[in-house]
Amino acid sequence: MRALRYTDFGPADLLEVGEVAEPHPGAGQIRIAVRASGVTPADTALRSGRLGHRVPLPHVPGVDAAGVVDEIGEGVTGVRPGDEVFGIVDLRQLGGANADHAVLAAWAPKPAALSWEQAGGAAANAETATRALDLLQVGEGTTLLIAGAAGGVGTLAIQLAVARGAQVIGTAGPATQDFVAGLGATPVVYGEGLAERTGKVDAALHCAGAVADLVPIAGRVLTIADMSPPEGVQASFMADPTTFRQALHGLTDAAELAGKGLFTVPLAGVFPLEEGPAAHRLSETGHAHGKIVLVN
Ligand SMILES: NC(=O)c1ccc[n+]([C@@H]2O[C@H](COP(=O)([O-])OP(=O)(O)OC[C@H]3O[C@@H](n4cnc5c(N)ncnc54)[C@H](OP(=O)(O)O)[C@@H]3O)[C@@H](O)[C@H]2O)c1
């Protein structure tokens, strides 16, 4: 099968489409014929070598995808070949989704309201945003600040928090204020003087910028982006084996809200699999607005 892959750690140019062996699902897993799959900052960090050489080479990046089920692993019930789903790979592999076929360890039915491109980039960020909102105890009446509201996680976190009855303030650059407002948050520009613009909030989700800036503003602060957070800041990482925890109800929550017209996946860029290098370069700008997706 075709897959986006790299055979050495380094710049995005090292990505190329090549032939790799087809994967098959283990117990509790399914395989899909991929229609679209996501690109995350973790994929680019891993490929660059910045996270160390944590995966065997060649490596196929991508942790989430949407497609049509074509193989079912032992013990799996409730899903059949031909079903349309979106989901997350086994995160111990740290990849495998940017390919013609991918094995999913967690999934939900693809809602008709999301296109293949949107569903392909939805699962990992819906899980992450939901895990963060759960840990921050975001609910009815919570005032939540999202730092990095225009990114892949932030755009979904805004909508999921609003659906819980929270008031959301989102930081973004001057050119991205309307985009963030359109998703249901009150936009504020990040940078110096942030506390004066936001006032005090109950909770803050840190996706971008300096997490220390959020500590004087929020009662509770959670980072998903800073691996060495200052005191008083909780951290949560999807693929961290020491704190391994996933909020998989985020997939079904997002799908249900999408069906009611209350959730969408804004797309920052859609690229054919062959243009994987361009997709990674867009992610590496740090200014993608929404989710970056590869289509098969
Ligand atoms: N812990 C986990 O489980 C987990 C899971 C997923 C992602 N992550 C991490 O979470 C972070 C966010 O992921 P993502 O996919 O949302 O990233 P992303 O899509 O690449 O985020 C890009 C966004 O960041 C905004 N931004 C850049 N600098 C900013 C600043 N100083 N203050 C506020 N916003 C700023 C940009 O808005 P403007 O263009 O308007 O500046 C842009 O929209 C990444 O570090 C990623 O690795 C962690």
Verify whether ligand 1 is closer than 6 Å to residue 266 (CB atom). no
Structure confidence at residue 149 (pLDDT): 98
Structure confidence at residue 246 (pLDDT): 85
Identify the CA nearest to 106 among candidates 138, 74, 63. 63
Verify whether ligand 1 is closer than 6 Å to residue 250 (CB atom). no
- CA-closest residue to ligand 1 atom 25: 148
Structure confidence at residue 148 (pLDDT): 98
Task: Give 159's contacts (C-beta < 8 A, 6+ positions apart).
Answer: 183, 184, 257, 262, 263, 264
Structure confidence at residue 226 (pLDDT): 96
Verify whether ligand 1 is closer than 6 Å to residue 293 (CB atom). no
- CA-closest residue to ligand 1 atom 26: 148
Task: Give 272's contacts (C-beta < 8 A, 6+ positions apart).
Answer: 294, 295
126 CA distance to ligand 1 middle (Å): 14
The parts of the chain modelled with pLDDT lower than 70 are 241-244
Structure confidence at residue 54 (pLDDT): 87
Verify whether ligand 1 is closer than 6 Å to residue 130 (CB atom). no
Give the burial string for 112-130 (b: 16+ CB within 10 Å, else e).
ebbbbbbbbbbbbbbbbbb
The CATH homologous superfamily for domain 2-122+265-295 is: Medium-chain alcohol dehydrogenases, catalytic domain (3.90.180.10)
Q: How far is CA 11 from the centre of its chain?
A: 22
Q: Please, are residues 71 and 90 in contact by the beta-carbon 8 Å criterion?
A: no
149 CA distance to ligand 1 middle (Å): 8
Architecture of 126-235 per CATH?
Answer: 3-Layer(aba) Sandwich (3.40)
74 CA distance to ligand 1 middle (Å): 37
Q: Please, are residues 36 and 294 in contact by the beta-carbon 8 Å criterion?
A: yes
* 187-212 pLDDT, tens digit each: 999 999 999 999 999 999 999 999 99
How far are the Cα atoms of 54, 67, 71, 123, 133 from residue 167, in angstroms, in the given order?
39, 34, 42, 24, 13
Identify the CA nearest to 249 among candidates 114, 136, 107. 107
Q: Please, are residues 129 and 157 in contact by the beta-carbon 8 Å criterion?
A: yes
**In the chain, where the domains are located:** 2-122+265-295, 126-235
Structure confidence at residue 244 (pLDDT): 56
Which residue do the tokens 């951290």 mark? 235
